Structure 1
């Protein structure tokens, strides 16, 4: 998905910043933070996705993990088959609000070198994911 899209408009038309709610994709697979890395990689392969939204036992989004991150953990020297997603994901975000502008989300993702960012509501429920195009 491309975050920056050019639209022609007539001169004098006021611009309204697009929000991530306009640009987000569905959240895709959501998994519990107690899932093991190996099972998460299997879920990713089956779903043909490069990321998973991670939720806690209450169903609140705690972050997002990527195939690259999980593969690096699995290939690391300290890896065992008991490592869980809660052990490798970044607790507490980053997240985007549905009111975040596309430009703000793109800046945050490029600054933090993220390929995707979960969009959550005020209660921590995942609404979707906004991603940079490759």
Structure 2
């Protein structure tokens, strides 16, 4: 059995620390595995996730199609993290930041 070491993430004003909802979809951390991210998507009934860094800032958006393609790849392991996934919409511009810039 493999032990999993969790690290605390910064508090956010959202109601859930695991997957807070944002304009880009549920918010998740970049150290989440692809498998867990796909489960979050299924539970939230969405096709995209906002990936956040250690400071809680949205860095990019990943889609269900991207994660499914990664999982189907020949080099995939169940330990693959979102931060290791190439592509995605980067950098992510927060809708709130766009509103204040206008």
What is the aligned partner in structure 1 of residue 95 from structure 2? 119
Distance 1:75 1:55 in 2: 24
1:92 is displaced (CA, Å) by 7.6
Q: Quick check: 1:78 aligned with 2:54?
A: no
1:88 aligns with 2:85: yes
**Are 2:60 and 1:63 equivalent residues in the alignment?**
yes
**Correspondent of 1:47 among 41, 44, 49:** 44
Is there any run of 5+ residues in structure 2 with no aligned partner, and where? 1-21
TM-score by length of 1: 0.51
Contact 1:37–1:83 (8 Å) recurs in 2:
yes
* Mapped partners of 1:50, 1:72: distance in 2: 13
Cα separation, 2, equivalents of 1:89 and 1:62: 13
* 8 A contact 2:51–2:60 mirrored in 1: yes
- When residues 57 and 89 of structure 1 are mapped into structure 2, their CA distance, relative to the original with a 3 A threshold, is farther
The 3 A distance-change label for structure 1 pair 29 and 49 is same
Matched residue of 1:121: which SS?
helix
Structure 1: state its 5+ residue gaps: 1-24, 97-117, 128-134
Q: Which has the higher contact order (CA 8 A, sep 6+)?
A: 1
Q: Report how far residue 93 of structure 1 moved.
A: 1.3
Distance, in Å, in 1 between the alignment partners of 2:53 and 2:23 is 19
**Once superposed, which parts of structure 1, at least 4 consecutive aligned residues long, lie more than 4 Å away?**
none
